[in-house]
């Protein structure tokens, strides 16, 4: 792996911004020394040595272990549950069913939707739904006892695939049928007219498979009651979101629920909200008056904590000879399984390129399968798979280079948002500079090979259209010894949030990032932050943290100026000291006022863009693949991600995100698919052996991260835009386009596994 954008610190920016910063207001930084540097994780030590206590590691005195009994049928109705034998099993302290006190909890899988189900619903709508739970002294006793719970099911006919859902006579998964909602439509201009004016039109249909998040850390919670106050250690991306939903589920005041996530081992969206197992742990803890730990097995996490739903997409695109897009149309069908969820997103189609006439239709049905859930750029990768292959095909039809066609249609305003300007659009830079760094022209023109190993290169572009909720608060406390405490509710889901926020404090206060102790992700003791997701963690929190640090900085400079008898404007902060223009160093500890009043405490909040401009990230990715025409294997030889996410806050964490996004996209493109047995409606590859996520051997041996920093000092007070999600959006399409370039086969269905590729290659040979 190599990085294209390394430089020790960033300079430049306009006079205005630098002046603003000097005045102590929330203007962008001028030159930075800590922000932007390749600072290693501040919590790396405890993570790699195993001393970090993740919720799974937590041991509480007297703690019990719980396990959940799940419906083995794709569709069934519980007629009777007999828990008496289980209750008598060794070590068993409590058995919970829907009939237990307090367990009749309505379940809202989606905000604003009514209770379609219950915590333990007798109507089981997919294989894996919760039927009962046990708390016992050991986890083995708890799982043993599950087998002793006798359940009588009425097994019902089921719907395994979305095409069957709306067929006449299909089993009804919810009252009112299997259509989740009326067709969602977005339209601007007149697509019919647009297509009639086009010189070239392409229409292609696609399918994407259901993908499972399967983060390294399994899902689970530890629940402990103290009186009527509940503390939960949860594997979550958003302690506040879980707190709110849990309080609502249990009918508790918000202040009586404390949710803590000291360390997180990945979520990718599957840990964004409240899970049933958390409520079950809380109910079992209340019933037994003991702390209860309930962690899912790896297999369970494949069934019930979400997935990237399967989709069917048709895209039609029309352009003028010169490449100007005149019409775009998408028709999408998807399924969030047995519960409401929107599997596709029209945003990408509507806003990635300038196009006057756009129509999007999204349909969504229920089937008897596990629930959909936000998954790194929810809705985007499937739509990118379809849109960016269609654009590739359109370029071919027009006889244009695919990079050139995209450059022709780069947007400067958000059309979907009614023409709101972007604070910056780095898409053109991503395409141009990415192509140059990738040697696109040379690679595109190179011979593709003659034997059974064929090479090709492809490109795809992307954007991410979510800019989050505007709330976030942070506190910063500075001590006279140059150490500081940062208090933020943000979760560090493995992406380096703590490190980046420590850099912000360090930059502002002239101290080392290692001197910043971080209290985070605890609803009882830390300040509100949105859930870490939607590529919003740095965007939402860094401005709040910077504002808090600036408040401390102002107070510190005031003190220093008074004590040293110098104007504030002459003083700067560095190395835990106040430094005069002559270079005299006054360590913070030498300031009497600071020693007397320490710690200085600053409170900072995030503010939305004053003019409501859109601050969105853009991306272009380039792939080179080798297709083995004998075996159908596709190897990704190299990839380059050119990323406009504004300021690079930390070179290491930036690269981590880009490389991680690409690897995840490789899995989406080539290996990952949940397999549901049509005979039984159950998942047959619910484990890491049969469900193939990319391993090190599947990663492209050459990975390049190219930050295309548009020096956007307007998007917010730190200059950073979203990063985590755009980095994975176009990967699969870029690979598919490279495959097409290599062998002339348009792979429309994920994953492009050897089995599928072998079949496509065979057909291609026959059709010759």
CA nearest neighbour of 717 among 647, 621, 627: 647
For residue 593, the surrounding DSSP H or E stretch is helix 592-597
Distance in angstroms (rounded) separating the CA atoms of residues 618 and 642: 9
Q: Taking the complex as a whole, how short is the minimal distance between the CB of residue 259 and its own copies, in angstroms? A: 13
CB 31 within 8 A of CB 487: no
Q: Taking the complex as a whole, how short is the minimal distance between the CB of residue 247 and its own copies, in angstroms? A: 8
Burial class (CB in 10 A: 0-12, 13-18, 19+), 755: exposed
Q: Taking the complex as a whole, how short is the minimal distance between the CB of residue 720 and its own copies, in angstroms? A: 24
- Spatial CB neighbours of 596, under 8 Å, sequence gap ≥ 6: none
Binding of its own copies at residue 254 (CB under 8 A)?
yes
Q: Taking the complex as a whole, how short is the minimal distance between the CB of residue 525 and its own copies, in angstroms? A: 4
Q: Which of 54, 107, 186, 528 binds its own copies (CB under 8 A)?
A: 528
Q: Check whether the bond before 510 is cis (ω within 30° of 0).
A: no
Q: Taking the complex as a whole, how short is the minimal distance between the CB of residue 514 and its own copies, in angstroms? A: 9
CA nearest neighbour of 32 among 660, 490, 542: 542
Q: Which of 12, 114, 253, 399 binds its own copies (CB under 8 A)?
A: 253
Q: Taking the complex as a whole, how short is the minimal distance between the CB of residue 659 and its own copies, in angstroms? A: 26
CB 421 within 8 A of CB 613: yes
Number of neighbours of residue 401 by Cβ within 10 angstroms: 16
Binding of its own copies at residue 77 (CB under 8 A)?
no
HEC per residue, 628-657: ECCCCCEEEEEEEEEEECECCCCHHHHHHH
β-strand partners of 602:
476
Angle at 422 between CA 419 and CA 428, to 5 degrees: 110
Strands (E), 9-129: 64-70, 76-82, 92-96, 106-107, 117-118, 123-124
Of 66-74, 280-288, 469-477, 673-681, the window that binds its own copies (rule: CB under 8 A) is 469-477
How many residues at the interface with its own copies, by CB under 8 A?
Answer: 43
Q: Taking the complex as a whole, how short is the minimal distance between the CB of residue 226 and its own copies, in angstroms? A: 5
Q: What end-to-end distance do the CA atoms of the chain give, in Å?
A: 38
Burial code (b: 16+ CB inside 10 Å, e: under 16) for 297-326 equals beebbbbbbbbbbbbbbbbbbbbeeebbbb
Residues 255 to 284 in contact with its own copies, rule: CB under 8 A: 255-256, 258
Q: Which tokens go with 255?
A: 């202040």
Binding of its own copies at residue 766 (CB under 8 A)?
no
Binding of its own copies at residue 473 (CB under 8 A)?
yes
Q: Which residue, 59 or 766, has its beta carbon nearer to its own copies? A: 59
Residues 569 to 608 in contact with its own copies, rule: CB under 8 A: 597-599, 601, 603
Q: Taking the complex as a whole, how short is the minimal distance between the CB of residue 38 and its own copies, in angstroms? A: 20
Q: Which residue, 571 or 601, has its beta carbon nearer to its own copies? A: 601
Q: Which residue, 197 or 519, has its beta carbon nearer to its own copies? A: 519
Number of neighbours of residue 99 by Cβ within 10 angstroms: 12
CB 537 within 8 A of CB 469: no
Q: Which of 388, 492, 522, 672 binds its own copies (CB under 8 A)?
A: 522
Q: By rule CB under 8 A, what string of x and - marks binding of each residue 183-222 to its own copies?
A: ----------------------------------------
Q: Which residue, 235 or 515, has its beta carbon nearer to its own copies? A: 515
Q: Which residue, 63 or 637, has its beta carbon nearer to its own copies? A: 63
Q: Which of 109, 238, 482, 494 binds its own copies (CB under 8 A)?
A: 482
Residues 490 to 519 in contact with its own copies, rule: CB under 8 A: 515-517, 519
Q: Which residue, 251 or 451, has its beta carbon nearer to its own copies? A: 251
Q: By rule CB under 8 A, what string of x and - marks binding of each residue 19-58 to its own copies?
A: --------------------------xx----xx----x-
Q: Which residue, 254 or 412, has its beta carbon nearer to its own copies? A: 254
- Spatial CB neighbours of 578, under 8 Å, sequence gap ≥ 6: 556, 557, 560, 564, 571, 572, 585, 586, 588, 591
Q: Which residue, 107 or 528, has its beta carbon nearer to its own copies? A: 528
Of 145-153, 409-417, 471-479, 690-698, the window that binds its own copies (rule: CB under 8 A) is 471-479
Following CA atoms 20, 25, 29, 30 in sequence, which dihedral angle do they give, to the nearest 10 degrees?
30
Q: Taking the complex as a whole, how short is the minimal distance between the CB of residue 710 and its own copies, in angstroms? A: 32
Q: For residue 34, is it left (φ>0), alpha (ψ between -120 and 50) or beta? A: alpha
Given the rule CB under 8 A, which residues bind its own copies? Answer: 45-46, 51-52, 57, 59-61, 226-227, 229, 247, 253-256, 258, 471, 473, 477, 479-485, 487, 515-517, 519, 522, 524-528, 597-599, 601, 603
């Amino acid at each position: 792996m190599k990085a294209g954008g390394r430089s020790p610190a960033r300079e430049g920016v306009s006079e205005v911004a630098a002046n603003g910063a000097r005045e102590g207001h929330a203007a962008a930084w001028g030159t930075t020394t800590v922000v932007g540097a390749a600072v290693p994780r501040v919590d790396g030590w405890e993570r790699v040595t195993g001393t970090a206590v993740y919720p799974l590691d937590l041991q509480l005195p007297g703690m019990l272990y719980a396990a959940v009994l799940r419906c083995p049928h794709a569709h069934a109705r519980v007629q009777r549950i007999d828990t008496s034998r289980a209750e008598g099993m060794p070590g068993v302290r409590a058995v919970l069913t829907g009939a237990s006190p307090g367990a009749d909890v309505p379940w809202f899988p989606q905000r604003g939707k009514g209770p379609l189900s219950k915590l333990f619903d007798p109507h089981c709508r997919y294989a894996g739904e919760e039927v009962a739970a046990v708390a016992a002294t050991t986890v083995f006793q708890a799982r043993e006892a599950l087998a002793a719970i006798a359940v009588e099911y009425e097994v019902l006919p089921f719907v395994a695939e979305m095409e069957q859902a709306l067929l006449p006579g299909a089993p009804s998964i919810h009252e009112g049928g299997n259509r989740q909602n009326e067709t969602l439509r977005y339209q601007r201009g007149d697509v019919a007219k647009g297509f009639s004016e086009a010189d070239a039109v392409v229409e292609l249909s696609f399918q994407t498979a259901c993908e499972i998040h399967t983060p390294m850390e399994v899902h689970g919670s530890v629940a402990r009651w103290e009186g009527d106050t509940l503390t939960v250690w949860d594997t979550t991306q958003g302690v506040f979101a879980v707190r709110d939903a849990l309080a609502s589920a249990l009918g508790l005041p918000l202040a009586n629920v404390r949710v803590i996530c000291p360390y997180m081992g990945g979520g990718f969206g599957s840990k964004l909200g409240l899970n049933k197992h958390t409520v079950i742990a809380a109910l079992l803890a209340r019933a037994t008056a003991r702390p209860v730990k309930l962690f899912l097995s790896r297999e369970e996490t494949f069934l019930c904590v979400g997935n990237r739903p399967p989709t069917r997409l048709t895209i039609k695109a029309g352009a003028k000879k010169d490449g100007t897009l005149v019409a775009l149309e998408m028709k999408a069908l998807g399924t969030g399984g047995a519960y409401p969820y929107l599997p596709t997103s029209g945003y990408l189609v509507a806003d990635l390129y300038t196009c006057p006439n756009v129509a999007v239709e999204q349909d969504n049905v229920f089937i008897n399968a596990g629930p959909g859930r936000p998954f790194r750029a929810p809705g985007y990768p499937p739509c990118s798979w379809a849109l960016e292959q269609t654009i590739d095909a359109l370029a071919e039809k027009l006889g244009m280079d695919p990079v050139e066609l995209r450059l022709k249609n780069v947007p400067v305003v958000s059309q979907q948002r009614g023409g709101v300007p972007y604070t910056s659009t780095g898409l053109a830079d991503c395409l141009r500079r990415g192509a140059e760094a990738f040697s696109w022209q040379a690679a595109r023109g190179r011979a593709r090979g003659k034997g059974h190993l064929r090479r090709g290169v492809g490109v795809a572009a992307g954007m991410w259209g979510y800019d989050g909720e505007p709330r976030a608060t942070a506190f910063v406390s500075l001590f006279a010894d140059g150490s500081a405490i940062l208090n933020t509710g943000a979760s560090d889901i493995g992406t380096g949030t703590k490190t980046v926020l420590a850099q912000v404090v360090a930059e502002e206060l002239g101290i080392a990032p290692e001197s910043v102790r971080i209290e985070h992700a605890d609803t009882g003791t830390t300040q509100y932050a949105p859930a870490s997701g939607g590529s919003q963690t740095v965007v939402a929190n860094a401005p709040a943290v910077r504002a808090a640090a600036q408040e401390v900085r102002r107070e510190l400079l005031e003190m220093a100026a008074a004590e040293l008898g110098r104007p504030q404007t002459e003083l700067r902060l560095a190395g835990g000291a106040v430094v005069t223009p002559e270079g005299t160093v006054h360590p913070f500890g030498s300031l009497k006022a600071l020693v007397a009043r320490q710690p200085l405490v600053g409170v900072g909040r995030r503010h939305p863009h004053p003019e409501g401009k859109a601050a969105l990230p853009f991306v272009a990715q380039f792939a080179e693949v080798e297709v083995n025409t004998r075996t159908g294997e596709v190897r990704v030889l190299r990839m380059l991600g050119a990323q406009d996410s504004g300021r690079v806050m930390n070179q290491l964490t930036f690269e981590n995100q880009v490389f991680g996004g690409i690897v995840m996209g490789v899995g989406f493109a080539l290996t990952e698919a949940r397999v549901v047995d049509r005979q039984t409606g159950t998942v047959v590859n619910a484990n890491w052996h049969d469900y193939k996520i990319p391993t090190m051997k599947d990663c492209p041996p050459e990975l390049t991260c190219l930050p295309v920093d548009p020096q956007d000092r307007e998007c917010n007070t730190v200059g950073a835009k979203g990063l985590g999600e755009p980095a994975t959006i176009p990967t699969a399409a870029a690979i598919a386009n490279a495959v097409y370039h290599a062998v002339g086969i348009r792979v429309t269905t994920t994953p492009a596994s050897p089995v599928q590729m072998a079949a496509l290659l065979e057909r291609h040979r026959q059709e010759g």
